[in-house]
Structure 1
Amino acid sequence: MGPLSPTRTMCLRGPWSLGVALGIFMTIGFALQFWGGPFQRRVPGLQLQQPWAQSLEPAVPSCQPLQRLVFLKTHKSGSSSVLSLLHRYGDRHGLRFALPVRYQFGYPRLFQASRVKGYRPQDGDTQLPFHILCHHMRFNLKEVLQVMPSDSFFFSVVRDPAALARSAFSYYKSTSSAFRKAPSLAAFLANPRAFYRPGARGDHYARNLLWFDFGLPLPPEMMTKRGNPHLPREPTPRQLHVLPSGADPRAHTLEPSALFHPAATVADGHSQMSSPASLNVGSPSFIQWNLAWLDSVFDLVLVAEYFDESLVLLADALCWSLDDVVGFMHNAQAGGVHGRSTVSDGGLTAEDRQLTARARAWNNLDWALYVHFNHSLWARIKQYGQSRLESAVAQLRARREALAKHCLVGGEALEPKYITDRQFRPFQFGSGKVLGYVLRSGLSLQDREECERLATPELQYKDKLDAKQFPPAVSLPLKT
């Protein structure tokens, strides 16, 4: 038998060579699988994020993120939590805030542009623009537009007046003369005129606080000591979503107010309000006109009882990732029920139902606001897609839970007695204890920086931004 030809040699050796090659590749594959973690951690560009840090950002953004924002921070409506995410986003992206000299823009007086630190209209085009206006004020569109461009994204948040009344009574009892004189919220709402005096110091906290914060005209009975002695009746019912956040919206409905149904937008863009003389202040027509004006100004109004759903819609409207709106709850009081709906009568005692009805009737203008923006929120949810929203809300909550476990001692908010670091201790005000956060030890430098952004209370964060935008001048040494 003669020598094999090269072709036949290749044919005979092919399977053996292929087997050897496969064996080598399998060995390499097992080795990479075994050493994959350390190998990837050492080689730049191959690091694997920890499960808590998984990004929720879309793979390919289809729009440009909005960064000119006006947030009307309403009282006792979850607005401190929204402020926290705005602080964090602006800080991370190097945006410039329109800051108050102290912590509020002259509240309870109407907002004035002159109260913005560093605002100098005489500088004209040479003045650096502001990106975000978000601290406490009583809304005044004309003056806001002196500071922020008219194409800014305007948004705010509302809360059911019954829940807001409970929180405000606890928080502002020492500030409002009406609340201070009342032994309890139930006693106040049983006969509010015995305690409430229009124009008295701090009494704007005691009635229609949302309406006041939105800067809307007040009816005469809230401006003078002569008013209607009778408690206003609760409006005629119409359907309103009232479920706790995350529940099936088809399960239950409540019926408030045919009088206060949403009105059509009256104008495109942002226009300064001037009340028609033909409308009687406080009448249903006047209320509807004001709600229509708000629709023409505000691009989105969040609802505290559907906070996570509102955040998903906010991220979508701003073209932000869900990561940008994930945050911790701020300025919450121990024992509070923030985030759960108190509007549904299910599970409430007869006494609670009576208190709820009285709170809504006494705060009838706030109830009109709430009904209106609750309706508009669910209209947006329908447009966004119910199943799509539920999926996004689940992602948001999972991400928040993972961040809390990674960043926080105990994975949750703690009472102030446990918070020794003044950087994270929230301002204590009112009769309730305001909760805060303690960071876990052993965090990496990068993780600690992000966890600090999440846990820092609003007053400390405002000071941080202030120092960043207005660094103290360094004194030069004197010449000898």
Structure 2
Amino acid sequence: MRLWRPRRLGVALGVFMTIGFGLHLWGVPFQKRLTRLQFQQSCAPSLQPAAETCLPRQRLVFLKTHKSGSSSVLNLLHRYGDRHGLRFALPIHYQFGYPRLFQASKVKGYHPQSGNTQKPFHILCHHMRFNLKEVLQVMPSDSFFFSIVRDPAALARSAFSYYKLTSSAFHKAPSLTAFLSNPRAYYQPGIHGNHYARNLLWFDFGLPFPPELKTKRANLHLPKDSNFLRLHVLPSGAGPGSQILDPKVLVQPVTTVADGHTQPVNTASSDLGTSSFIQWGLAWLDSVFDLVMVAEYFDESLVLLADALCWGLDDVVGFMHNAQVGREERLSAAGNNSQTAEDWQLNARARAWNNLDWALYIHFNRSLWARIEQYGQRRLQRAVAELRARREALAKHCLVGGEALDPKYITNKMLRPFQFGSTKVLGYVLQSGLSPQDQEECERLATPELQYKDKLDAKQFPPTVSQPFKTSRLLSP
């Protein structure tokens, strides 16, 4: 006990020092954002049916997280802003200096010292590592902040194939199973690209890492019973049998063993270091973000987003973007009840290794369900059914085959998604014979994020000399 108490005291001191640094870094913008939230409590959009006086929100900050369905959200923001003539805060290239923290200076056309009147930005939505202080230099504090999270088990599968050549930790491992069986044999923090290999969501949200996570080098061990964790997740829109699940059975805590101490990897943990730090981080995110969507309940999240923004369902209906071949199978492998013991163990290891992301997922999954309860489950079911019917009708009208296709069939470079990683990224081919109006709208629905960014860039900053589109300029999404 005498040896343990100083160590525990040191961990606590490290946590409070890190929190103190974070408060110093975020203090001013946090207060601005908190004041804005308190002011809007009386006039925030209701989760009841929209009133006639409801005005569409058009100042938006979307934190685009990696491998979480965020490209599909980006497409609906591109389309909405494009149709309504809104001004995007665009990166000079395709990302805002990622993986570095966002800096306002990386926004194209942002020159606060020039003396000229700055045109306001309406939407900030491209890849960045979140940095509230700098975001508020570009966007007003009354903007609607939102993001999306995904089950770390599904995210790990997608990230491993997508970033196999980018992350040295993934590149060294022969398979995801081998990597998760002994992560420390492959993973070294701080190595270029390795932020993709652990707690990618936490990283994207711009949160600092707990002191313990920076210093511990022990491997994670799991209980022998592979059924100790059963996370029942049914992907949104998985088929006619899909339904809204009971949140009480959706998430359960994971326990891991590190350095001989049992550590519950959830926000209810009694561990002074990691748990207190996680709870602080989640509370801070709650104070900043108005809504955090959940990838496994994508359509339900879209309905809640449309309600919060006072938009119509047509504003949020769209096609899936940046989906990899076999995406549905990987999503199902992360959450259904027909998995093998090996599948369950792989999922549990992925969640334990990405314990901070798991805490994020649990927290925002619960907050989403709280909003669903307020909105009304029957009302939500009707809206989700209508959303899916509209999507299906658009797909049949716009797309060859009515669905996403292998990129080998996509000859139009403006519609062919950027191919990155070891798995093919699906895209769309438009039907022939569409009317000019339908052709324009179908192109918006089918255009990948990088090409759409170029389109918006050319619209806001017309080039003096027309240049052909070059895929060699594309960067990793």
Matched residue type, 1:470: F
Confirm or deny that 1:160 pairs with 2:151: yes
- Other-structure match for 2:266: 260
Q: Deviations over 1:81-101 (max 9, x none)?
A: 000000000000000000000
What is the aligned counterpart of 1:227 among 216, 231, 238?
216
Matched, 1:350 2:341: yes
Q: Relative contact order: is structure 1 or structure 2 higher (C-alpha 8 Å, sep ≥ 6)?
A: 2
Conserved in 2, the CA contact under 8 Å of 1:407 and 1:451?
A: yes
State which of 84, 89, 106 in structure 2 corresponds to 1:93.
84
Letter in 2 for 1:440: Q
Cα pair 1:241 1:252 within 8 Å, conserved: no
**Is the partner of 1:121 in helix, strand or coil?**
coil
Within 5 A, what are the aligned runs for 1:106-255? 106-123=97-114, 126-220=117-211, 223=214, 226-231=215-220, 242-245=233-236, 246-250=242-246, 253-255=249-251
- Calculate the TM-score normalised by the size of structure 1: 0.79
Structure 1 SS opposite 2:327: coil
Partners of 1:59 and 1:251 lie apart in 2 by 26
Alpha-carbon displacement from aligned partner over 1:114-155 (angstroms, at most 9, x marks no partner): 000000112467110000000000000000000000000000
1:1-31 deviation digits (Å, cap 9, x = unpaired): xxxxxxxxxxxxxxxxxxxxxxxxxxxxxxx
Question: How far, CA to CA, are the matches of 2:327 and 2:334 in structure 1?
Answer: 15
Are the counterparts in 2 of residues 88 and 454 from structure 1 also a CA contact under 8 Å?
yes
Distance 1:79 1:141, change over 3 A: same
Asked whether 1:466 is paired with 2:476, we answer no
Alpha-carbon contact 2:72-2:318 (below 8 Å) kept: yes
**Paired position in structure 2 for 1:5:** none
Is contact 2:168-2:193 (8 Å) kept? yes
CA gap 1:195/1:83 in 2 versus in 1, 3 angstroms: same
Instruction: Tell me the distance in 2 between the aligned counterparts of 1:403 and 1:59.
Output: 25
Pick closer, same or farther for the CA change 1:227–1:124 going to 2, 3 Å.
Answer: farther
Correspondence for 2:44:
none
Deviation at 1:283, TM superposition (A): 1.4
Aligned partner of 2:449: which letter?
E
Q: TM-score, normalised by structure 2?
A: 0.79
Percent of paired sites with the same residue: 77
SS at match of 1:244: coil
2:323 aligned partner: 332
Contact 1:199 1:222 in 2 (8 A): no
CA distance in 1: counterparts of 2:398 and 2:408, whole angstroms = 19
3-state SS of 1:122 partner: coil
Alpha carbons of structure 1 residues 84 and 255: separation in structure 2 relative to 1, 3 Å: closer
Q: CA deviation at 1:344?
A: 3.4
For 1:289 and 1:241, locate their aligned partners in 2 and report how far apart those are by CA, in whole Å: 27
Deviation for aligned residue 1:404: 0.4
Report the count of equivalent residues. 398
| 2:25 alignment counterpart | none
Unaligned residue ranges in structure 2 (runs of 5+): 1-48, 237-241, 254-263, 467-477
Bigger Cα Rg: 1
In structure 2, the CA distance between the partners of 1:239 and 1:199, relative to structure 1 (3 Å rule), is same
Task: Provide the C-alpha distance between the structure 1 equivalents of 2:308 and 2:329, rounded to a whole number of angstroms.
Answer: 24
SS in 1 for 2:428: coil
Moved over 6 A (4+): 237-241
Task: Tell me, in whole angstroms, the C-alpha distance in 2 between the residues paired with 1:239 and 1:193.
Answer: 25
User: SS of the counterpart of 2:113?
Assistant: helix
**Paired residue secondary structure (1:301):** strand
Q: Partners in 1 of 2:115 and 2:142 — Cα distance?
A: 18
C-alpha contact 1:240 1:371 (8 A) present in aligned 2: no
Aligned residue type for 1:152: S
Specify the alignment match of 1:400 in structure 2: 391
Q: Which amino acid aligns with 1:459?
A: L
Q: Deviations for 1:305-333, whole angstroms, at most 9, x for unmatched residues?
A: 00000000000000000000000000000
Q: Is the 8 A contact 2:247 2:369 kept in 1?
A: no
1:317 partner SS: helix
Go from structure 1 to structure 2 and tell me whether the alpha carbon gap of 1:340 and 1:392 turns closer, same or farther (over 3 Å shift): farther
| Superposed CA RMSD | 2.5
- Find the partner of 2:361 among 366, 370, 395: 370
Equivalent pair of 1:240/1:375 in contact (CA under 8 Å): no
